[in-house]
Structures are given as structure tokens and as C-alpha cells.
Structure 1
Amino acid sequence: MATSGVSKPEVLSSVCCNEQARRPCREADESLESFPRRATGTLAAVKGDSSEKVAFRKLSVLIPVYNERWTLAEVVRRVLAAPVSLGMEIVIVDDGSTDGSYELALRLAEQDSRIKVIRHRRNMGKGAAIRTAISHLSGDIAVIQDADFEYDPQDFPALLAPILKGQADAVFGSRFIGHTRRVLFFWHTLVNKFLTLVSNMVNDLNLTDMETGYKAIRTDVLKRLRLNARTFTIEPELTCRLAQWGARIYEVPVSYFGRTYAEGKKINAWDGIKALGAILYYRFIDTQFTHDEGFATLRSCQRAAAYSKWIVDQARPYLGRRILEAGAGIGNISPFFLHAERLVLADCNPAYCRMLRYRFEGRENVRVDEADLTAPDSYQQWREDKLDTVFCSNVLEHLPNDADVLKQFYQILEEGGHCIIIVPAEPRLFGEIDQAVGHYRRYTVADLVAKMEAAGFQVVFTRQFNRLGAAGWFVSSKVLRRRQLDPRSMRWFGRITPLAKLLDYFLPWPGMSLIVVGRKPQRQLLRAAA
């Protein structure tokens, strides 16, 4: 899996009946005597809305281990005794320990089926161990738990609460807000706060503790992040990737019982320098935060709000009061329609629909529907909405049967209503980005007009626009053969959109986008024409 990045020869998946697990481990016997056969939680977690409660059934606790034989059994016992109502699994990744930690972990797994054990043949670092754990987890929420006593699993309810309530995608347990803590190293704390400050500056966040080892993250987000860190730089990388994803991040206070170096603390000054380099690297150089190229493209486009406004401004004369945005994605254009009496946002991607619901929660005029535009049955739910506008931006090119979709749009529109279609123009611009995001085609004016008319629409407006963008698209997709839009380029394009609008009157080549508006004729007009 992409999040793992650990080659197969370096990882050993354990089997609890492994012969090695049957061998006695005298050093661990004392710890194992008090280890529960089947520990259970006692607290009924936190109430969220019904959809969220159905979604979250299991918690995955990821424990990277390197030479922690004397604390591991007690940490696992505390984790299993944590007061949470979710089912639980523990994923232990032994990172090449030489002190018997792996053998102990196998014995623990023999006693409780909720424990998985994976081994790295050699020490690869905390980040590599966490990435391996991610590739083996099966829960709905993941919590990273160190194999020592610095963090207390009794804090799990507080850590999970914002996610269970449907408010957060990730929760950081802060060591610096509202709790009793052990007083330790001044310079270590100062470096932590400096790294948090730099991370906040470049990622536009206001965390108090970026370097915290306690992070809870929705699995559906975590597994789609592109993670590369092998060492303690996993903390700044996770923070940066979550910010690039657009995740909703919360902070809660957690207990912290820091270790001294004599007690086994492993992080050092060099790790602080590497963390600073990682913050800058993942924010400005390696900006590919996910392997989901479609989502990455949507997030990049989100940074060009002025361009989205340009699109909507051209369609504004044809916008009504009851709008369906078909293929709303993550809502880059949706805010421009919030004035509508009724706004229906539809998308086939459940994750996108969830983002839209979070974003527009509480607005009585907005409804989010999960719908497949290629399935005729999906349109039945909108026949009673009396829609006077269908707005569909950069969606038709993703659909194999675009002509059939246009016919369905015609059927659900009220007479006199408008169907506004924006698509990528110029087939000769078709390149790597088009392929990466799943485009079937780019359109000519004649092609789209013909399909609109075949669906029954009277075409009342056409325009091909964004000539400057066409040049940039050609260079990125055809010359450089990139497969994603660069977020920095999109941010800059958003800033120079006024210039792009002006250059549309002067540049000699066609634009990269096409807008076509069709009107559904009224019956009396059709009879008169007949």
C-alpha cells in the first residue's frame, strides 16, 4: 500500500502460533501475569449524529515499538482497558528490536485476538513503523500510541470525542493546554514550541503542540495521505499532509508523563533539526499530499477562488432560485449559490458528500445528495424540487454516457429553466492531467452544442474562455507531463485571474474551458413553433 513504503523483505507479519512465540520468555513472565485475557471498555463514548455512530465501529491503536520490552505489556494492558465503547484492535509494529520486545508482543497477541504484530527485520524509524501499521489497520479511527508511559490511554475519550461528534477529521492531544503535567526540559519544550510555530506559519494553523505523539485520525483520511517519513519527522509530515488535505483538526488537552533520557527517551537535538527541514520540505517541495489525483486536483482548484468566481459570473444571468449543482465535488463553486431558495448539491463520492454536509451544515436551503449521474434512478429524487437551474461544472468529461446525462437534466428541469454546462475545451489539449483525473474527452463547441440540442435544449449562450490557462495547461500536461495541478500554480493563477480575463480579448489561441447554456422550452412555445 502507498502509505507503507516498506519493502516486503523488511517486514515480517507475525502468526500467533509461530514457533518463536511458543518459546518461553522469562523476562516477560512477570508482566504477563497481570495481562487481561479480554479487557473491555466501560464508557459509552460520545454521542454523534446517527450516520457517524454507524460509521465508527472500531478503533485501531497503532503502537510502534523499538526496544520497549519492560513497558510494552503494561501499555497494551492500559490500552485495552481504556474507557471507550468502540471495538478495538492493536497493531504493534516491532521496529527491529533487539531486547525481546518482538517475542513479548507475540505472546501478548496469543492471549488476545485483538492484537496484531508485524515486525521490521531491521530498525527503520518511528515513521516507517507507523506507515507499516497504517497498511495493516482495519478500524474506522486510528490513534498513535507510544510504547512507553508518556501518554495515558485514559485520555482516549477526550481524544476521540470531536471525531465521534462528526466535528473533526483529526485530533491532536496537546501537552501544553489545560492539564497537570510533569515538569521537564526547558530547551526541549522550547524547541517543540518553535517547531510548532514554524509549522503553523507555513500551514496556516494555530496548533499548540504539533509534535505531540497523541494523534487520532479518521482512517478514511489517514489511508489516503501520502506519507514518506521514516523517523520522528512523521509528526510534522502528518500535520502538513492533514493541512494540505483540508482536514478539520481539533486539539484537546491530554496528560503527559515525559521520560528523561535516562528513562529511555530517544529523541535528540538532531531530530529537531530534521523536523524543521521536514516542515519546509513537505510544505514547499514535496507537495503531493495524496495519491488520489482527482481529490488533489480539486484541492488545488480550491486555491483559485477568483477563477471559480469568473466561471460563475459568466453563468450568473441564467441562474435561477432553485439550483442543482450536479457533481459538486468538495464545494469549490457551491458557496456562490448560497443565495438560492433551494440548493441541492449532488456527488457520487461519499467522502465528498460528507465534506459538503460538514461545510454547509445548518443551512436550511442546502441539501446534499449522494447520487450517480450515470444512473437514471438517481434523478427521481429531484423531480419534486421544481428545479429551474442545473449547474454542472467540469463533470461531463468524466462520464462515458454524457449525452444520456444531458437528457436526464432536461427531464428534471422546469419549463423555462436553464442547464449550464462547463467542460474542458480543445481535444488537442488532452494530456497527462486529463488521464490522471479520469477525463474521457475534451470538447469542441460544435460537439457540446449538438449534444445539448439532441437532449432537447435550445442553446442560448456559448463561450470558450481562459486562453492564458490553456497555455499553462499545455505546458503542465503535454510538455512537463504532470499528473496533478500544482497548488502553488493554482494559487498564483487565482491572483492573476483579472489579467487572464483581460488577455482573453488578445491572445490568439482558443481557451481551455467551454461554457454552454441551454434553455428548456415552454410547451406553448413548442406548440407555436410547430
Structure 2
Amino acid sequence: MTSLSVLVPVYNEQHLVSTSLARLEILEGSPHLERVQVVVVDDCSRDATGEVLRAFAAARGVQWLENGPIENGVELCGHGRQGKFHWVFLRHVMNGGKGRAIRTALAEADCELSVIHDADLEYHPRDLVRIVKVFVEEEADAVFGSRFAGGEARRALLFRHELGNRLLTFLTNWVTNVNLTDMETCYKAVRTDLLKSIPIVSNDFRLEPELTIKLAKREARIFEIPISYSGRTYQEGKKINWRDGVKALWAITRFWLSDHVYQEDAYGSQILGRLARAPRFNAWMADVIRPFCGQRVLEIGSGTGNLTRRLVPRNTYVASDINPLYLQTLRGLTVDRPYLDVTLTDVTRGESFPRVEGGFDTVVCLNIIEHVDDDLGALRNVRAALAETGRAIVLVPRGPDLFGTLDEVLGHKRRYTENALVELATQAGFEVQELLHFNRVGTPAWWLNGKLLKRRSFGLLQIKALNLLTPLFRVIDRALPFAPLSIIAVLRPTSARPAAAGAGPDAAAGTDGEPGGPIDPDVSASA
């Protein structure tokens, strides 16, 4: 069972909105839905839409508020419950467009899934029953209802309008490498926490390509199902026109070039997401550590799985992180990888570590311990999860003299010297098998950006250049006269196993009583 928030933007639909909303009550009979929330946003309609909504609400026992509270230009008009349904009626004080109305409705959404439903009669909510079923059975992140994939019924009209839709879908597919049949469909259903974590900026119909492209960049598991469609003519009130098509073309270009796909959050998801846009660099890192990986692997701080994908398959592979958005993406990888498990693991909390019989033979811990206050305790937790003959692969940023603004924005507590890392590993119960120097070419770039220019973000062009030039860097890196930006330590447990940090009564916090810090994705800090 799940729950569904239906987001309904309304503008000048006095003749159709009541029937459109009444159709939603077919969801009452869905065996997969335990609750339905309908959030209606009147986008400052100029006709009698407001009066129609008031009458509709009254017929369902919803109390309508006279001069309801107004916050940020949004008036609360009424809310109430009836059976499975919770109705919420809002009104924009000023017209803002479809995209803004969707953002207003989304802010109120509190169900597991959210879907956009227009206030006209072009789409029928009986298809939402089938859309919800896909989430339940396929572990989807998003499900689009396609008007062109062969629904039960489709009204035949506006051929040139369909050609425009197909062109926009083709171009969106080209920039995302996703094979959708209908990008412009209204019926886009998305897991609510995922949808809320995407920064939507479009106020009009450009919302459609924006949301599609950003979902693709977030590596969402997108499904399509055929739906029925009864499109209306312009004489019947259709609002989208050729000008919106031209705007959509520009939007496709704009959002293709942008990587603004995360809302600002406590985990620095947007910054770390940008760093992850260097797959060739990830491949380089994976190639360096792969010879030391066994068949029972725990990866700490997996991010969205860039390194994970390159190290599997294994007999057992557990990917972990503390960022709930990353965990959601990682779980999507498990559907067709039976050997892969995903769990929340905080390196500072020993009780959060997963266990396997005999212990893991490899723990991969890249760009993690520099984030936490108690790095010694973190390494002891890693030690406790290992088999006696296992290995820990630990990557840390080198060079305290390089510490600058980029380290601060990434949440680094420190940078290491080789001697400091060896001493730390020894205290944690390890002996050093190998110390590898990694990414010398990144050192001058880090010094320039973080120390000299004092930048607090990574330029997208810099990341693209890093990805483009990585094959060259791999060849010349050892010959460069710079100290490495990162050190990779391959560690083996010594015979005496120290107690795991955080295993006692105070396990929920680090040494200073604070929870563990954010975990980097599987990308070296090397922009």
C-alpha cells in the first residue's frame, strides 16, 4: 500500500474543473492506495473558477475559509477529509503560471507519491490507478503516462500539435539518452521526496522538459505506461500554443547544459553531485583500487553509485551512505543486481555497520574520514567490520598546506600527511600494506582554486574538462613533479583487534557528542 498526492494547477477552468476533480474519486477504489491527498491551486483565475471550487468543496464537507491566511502570496481557502481523500484548496494572489502552481502544491504534498493532474478533461484518473501499480510492483522512481504508446482510447485531432510534441520528446531523449515516447505528458508521477529534492524553476509549460531532464540527470528509474487521451481544441479552451513550443526548445538546451539538480541541503548534495559528473575520473579511481578488492565488499559513502557500478559484480556487495537521496538512487541499482545490498552506514557509529558472516574481506572508504571529528574512531569501526585477513582501502586528501576554501565547502576537517595517515592507521589496529599516490595533476588546480582564488564552488566547465582530460592525466600523472592530491592506503588488520568506536552506550554520537558528518560521494575531491 502507498499514498498519493495529486497536484492540480487551475486557471480559468470554471466549466471543467468540477468534473475533473470529481473524476479523481475513482482512486477511492484503488487497492494500492491507503490515502489520497488532492492539492488544488487556483492560479488567480479571472473567471468563476473560485466559486465553482467553493461549491465543489462544500459538497464534500470541506470548510471554506473566508479571507483565509495568506503566506508568500498563497491563500489557504479550505481543507478537509472525506474517506480516503484529504482535500486542500489554495489560491495564488497573483497569477504565476503552471510551474509556480505546481511548486505551491508540492510544498503541501505529504504522501509517498505525487502526480500532476490538469483541471481539464484531457486525462482520465483511471489511468492513475495503473500508474500507482507500477510504483508498487517495479520500484519505480517516476512513471509517465504516454499518450503515444497505445492507450485504450485516444481522440484524433491536432496532427501538427502531435508533431511538435514528438519533436520535443526526441530532442529531450537526445540530451538525456532516455527513450521516452511522450515527454510533454501531464501525467508525471514521481516519488514525493525525490520530486521535492529537485529545484524546479520554470513557471510555465517549460516545467515539462525541466522535470524530465532533471529526473534523468538524477538517474531516476523512469517507467512509461500507455494512457487514454481526449485532447481538446483551442476553441474548447486548450491553452498551450506554438510559442510554448519555442520556449520548450530553449528550455531543453538550458537544462541540458545545467547541472542544478539538487535543492540545497545539509549534505551538500548539489556540490557533490557536480563532482560526480566526471565518469572517466571515477573509472580511473576504480581501476586503481580494483586489484585490492575481494568478493565481500562494504563501500562506505557510495554516493549515487558511480564507483559501485564499476566494482560490481561481487559475491556480496553492500553500498552505503547517510544521504537519504543517495540511498534512494542506490536502491534502484539493486533491482537487477541480487548480490547488491544498500544500507545507511555512518562511519562514526559502529552499530550502523552491516555485518556478514566472517566479516567483509574489503571495506572501501574513499573521501570519508576527513569529514568526521573522530577519524580514529571511524577507522576502528572499519577495522571491526573486517575479516582478520581482510583489507581496508582508505583514500584521504593529502597536504595540510593545501587546506583552503574548497575544503571548507566540502566539510573537510583536515588534510593528511603520509606519516599522519600511517600513525592513525596503526592506532586503529591496522598495518599499512601499500601507500599509493593518486592524482598529482589535481594538486595545482586545487591550490589555485582553493588557496589562491579562494573559490567556494567547482565550476561545471572545470569538471567537464577534468572528465575530458582524464585519459591524458592517467598517462602522465606519475611523471608530474607534484605531490599527489590524494593518498590511498591499503590496510590490513593487525592481530590485536581494538574495540569498535561507538559500540558502547554512547554509540549514537562521535567523541564530541555530535552525529557523524556528511559523507562524500565516490568521487575524489580533485576539481
Q: Shorter-chain TM-score: which interval? A: 0.7 to 0.9
Letter of the aligned partner of 2:278 in structure 1? A
Could you tell me how far 1:322 is from its partner in structure 2? 2.4
Letter of the aligned partner of 1:466 in structure 2? N
Match of 1:102 in 2: 50
The question of whether the paired residues in 2 share the 8 Å contact of 1:467 and 1:504 is answered with yes
Whole-angstrom distance in 1 between the partners of 2:297 and 2:405: 33
Alignment of 1:168-247 (within 5 A): 168-179=140-151, 180-247=153-220
Whole-angstrom distance in 2 between the partners of 1:68 and 1:199: 30
Whole-angstrom distance in 1 between the partners of 2:218 and 2:279: 17
Matched, 1:306 2:280: yes
Could you tell me how far 1:107 is from its partner in structure 2? 4.0
- TM-score normalised to the size of structure 1? 0.82
Matched, 1:128 2:100: yes
Deviates more, 1:195-204 or 1:156-165: 156-165
Distance 1:174 1:299, change over 3 A: same
Letter of the aligned partner of 2:42 in structure 1? D
Could you tell me how far 1:467 is from its partner in structure 2? 2.2
Whole-angstrom distance in 2 between the partners of 1:215 and 1:367: 29
Distance 1:255 1:477, change over 3 A: farther
Matched, 1:521 2:467: no
Structure 2 gap segments, 5+ residues each: 63-79, 81-85, 498-527
Could you tell me how far 1:522 is from its partner in structure 2? 4.2
Which of 287, 290, 308 is the matching residue for 2:262? 290
Which of 351, 375, 378 is the matching residue for 1:405? 378
Deviates more, 1:300-309 or 1:406-415: 300-309
Q: Root-mean-square deviation (CA), in Å?
A: 2.4
Match of 2:12 in 1: 67
Could you tell me how far 1:371 is from its partner in structure 2? 2.4
The question of whether the paired residues in 2 share the 8 Å contact of 1:170 and 1:218 is answered with yes
Matched, 1:373 2:351: no
Which of 304, 314, 331 is the matching residue for 2:305? 331
Letter of the aligned partner of 2:30 in structure 1? V
SS at match of 1:422: strand
Whole-angstrom distance in 1 between the partners of 2:450 and 2:40: 42
Whole-angstrom distance in 1 between the partners of 2:450 and 2:99: 33
The question of whether the paired residues in 2 share the 8 Å contact of 1:330 and 1:352 is answered with yes
SS at match of 2:15: helix
The question of whether the paired residues in 2 share the 8 Å contact of 1:109 and 1:116 is answered with no
Could you tell me how far 1:201 is from its partner in structure 2? 1.0
Matched, 1:84 2:58: no
Whole-angstrom distance in 2 between the partners of 1:433 and 1:281: 27
Distance 1:428 1:147, change over 3 A: farther
% identity of equivalent residues? 40
Could you tell me how far 1:369 is from its partner in structure 2? 2.8
Q: Deviations over 1:430-479 (max 9, x none)?
A: 44554444333332323222211111211122233212223344455553
Matched, 1:453 2:426: yes
Could you tell me how far 1:78 is from its partner in structure 2? 0.7
- TM-score normalised to the size of structure 2? 0.82
Which of 502, 506, 509 is the matching residue for 2:475? 502
Letter of the aligned partner of 1:71 in structure 2? L
Alignment of 1:269-288 (within 5 A): 269-284=242-257, 286-288=258-260
Q: Deviations over 1:384-435 (max 9, x none)?
A: 3432222111121222221101112222322232211012233444445544
Whole-angstrom distance in 2 between the partners of 1:259 and 1:402: 63
Distance 1:205 1:489, change over 3 A: farther
Whole-angstrom distance in 1 between the partners of 2:406 and 2:260: 14
The question of whether the paired residues in 1 share the 8 Å contact of 2:221 and 2:332 is answered with no
Alignment of 1:342-361 (within 5 A): 342-361=316-335
Whole-angstrom distance in 1 between the partners of 2:55 and 2:400: 61
Letter of the aligned partner of 2:123 in structure 1? Y
Deviates more, 1:161-170 or 1:244-253: 161-170
Which of 466, 484, 489 is the matching residue for 1:511? 484
The question of whether the paired residues in 2 share the 8 Å contact of 1:301 and 1:332 is answered with no
Match of 1:162 in 2: 134
The question of whether the paired residues in 2 share the 8 Å contact of 1:433 and 1:485 is answered with no
Whole-angstrom distance in 2 between the partners of 1:147 and 1:328: 42
Distance 1:514 1:116, change over 3 A: same
Distance 1:147 1:436, change over 3 A: farther
Alignment of 1:11-26 (within 5 A): none
